[in-house]
Amino acid sequence: MPITMTNRLNRRRFVQLTGGAAAASIGAPGLVRAATSDESATMARHVNVIVIGGGLSGLMAGRELHKRGVDSFLVLEARERVGGRTLNMPIGNGHIVEVGGEWIGPGQNAIAALIDELGIGAFDQYYQGDTTYDIEGLISRGFLPDVSLSEAADFGKVAWKLDRLCKKMPVGEPWRMNDASALDQTTLGDWLRQHAATSFTPSVFRLISRAVWSGYPERISLLWVLHYLRSAGGLLPVILNDGGAQDQRIDGGSQVISERMAAGLGDRVLLGRPVLRIEDQAPERMRVVTRAETFTADRVIVAMAPADTTRIEFAPALPKPRQDLATGWARLPRLPLVKAAMLYERPFWRADGLNGAMQSDRSPIQLVFDNSPEDGSLGVLSCFLSVVECPQLADRNAREEGLKQELARYFGPKALDATGYVEKDWAADPWSTGCITPLTPGVLTAGGEHLRKPSGRIYWAGTESAKRWCGYMDGAISAGARAADEVHASLEG
């Protein structure tokens, strides 16, 4: 999400400088909610495939199964809504704001094709005007932060080295890279200390790591960083906003993608079904046990973040590398995220020549974006922050007032005149272990091959398993389609 490039001509100048381096809880009509204990059937319902998870990846798996003629399947979702880590929240007058995954960009072909099929449009994120930066305690505004020639040259050199290193990796298979184990035992912070000659470069990468991976350079595996960048095509697509990964927004909000897919699947999508246990009784049918009922199936697709799969009991136990992968992910020292939106009568910052974007390496707010409706009929500043970094904002009411004060530092006293406030605290979500997931050293080489490798008749989806655009909505879509392909081939085989 970091370093905003606000127009395409200037972005080309930045490339030269750096050496070319560097989601309202509603269900779709026809969705079936959890049966009460009285409604629970005494005999297990059988289908060919059960998909666990009603987010983008799980619903895409169901959609692709249906396309391939596999009509006997169910999608089980623990929540009373679809969308997973995408969520729309109403803000009045028919408008919404996304409090989860939100943006799409060039090269994200899987999600671009899907929204085209679903008849969903997209519009440009607002980047006209200056970006605000708060780096090493210095607030500046412009296309780039205030930076000396030596600092700019150092950042460009280090960014170029990191970009070249990531492009030596086999796409989607970081464990096959030369020196993978050593790279996995090295943190991004270790690597920066070896290669950066100024304090500015590590500070900017701290900004990047807080924004993109919700963690600190000194805690994140270098191999994971390289894998993440490689899956996006390099460093530049990740750190660019205009023309990069935060280029466009979805008409109606990102959750509408899941709602449209779920509506197309109808009563195959069951809400309020948290899965407790999966039993592979080979050669007999598999059993999937929820709180209210039991299902049987020939194959199962688990479309969840690895950490979230630790809530499910598997019998027999999963292969140890897969267990280690999930538990390693669950133990991550991530920064639990709050995505908050401050509402205003109008996007006042635009008249001041600002684009509403702010990025910082150490302030309580990691990022700010102009999340106003496309027509600019009201103003919305969406903020990313971690309560771990600012315990004074732990209380929700204190957080709302504190964010106004912080926004006033960057956008002036008009930021105090908010008309409303909504937020999503992903650390408090019962079904998602955070919204963004980094990896600490050692996890990826210990179990990375099992991100996608089937465990018997259990297949894996979710954005973390994607080869391309891992961690993004596009990765969730491609991972769901890939898992459906694998299951279809297995059933046919």
- pLDDT 10s digits, 467-491: 999 999 999 999 999 999 999 999 9
Residue 309 lies in a domain: yes
Residue 149 lies in a domain: no
pTM: predicted TM-score of the whole model, two decimal places: 0.90
Residue 188 lies in a domain: no
Q: What is the domain extent for residue 283? A: 45-88+251-318+455-492
Residue 276 lies in a domain: yes
Residue 341 lies in a domain: no
Instruction: Tell me the pLDDT tens digit for each residue of 285-320.
Output: 999 999 989 999 999 999 999 999 999 999 999 999
Residue 380 lies in a domain: no
Instruction: Tell me the pLDDT tens digit for each residue of 338-396.
Output: 999 999 999 999 999 999 999 999 889 999 999 999 999 999 999 999 888 888 888 88
Both tokens of 458, joined, read: 């259990």
Instruction: Tell me the pLDDT tens digit for each residue of 60-111.
Output: 999 999 999 999 999 999 999 999 999 999 999 999 999 999 999 999 999 9
13, pLDDT greater than 90: no
275, pLDDT greater than 70: yes
Q: What is the mean pLDDT of the chain?
A: 90
pLDDT of residue 215: 85
Residue 291 lies in a domain: yes
pLDDT of residue 32: 58
CATH code, 264: 3.50.50.60
Residue 327 lies in a domain: no
Both tokens of 97, joined, read: 């704001």
Share of residues in the chain with pLDDT > 70 (%): 90
pLDDT of residue 12: 34
Number of structural domains in the chain? 1
Of 441, 434, 465, the C-alpha closest to 308 is: 434
pLDDT of residue 332: 67
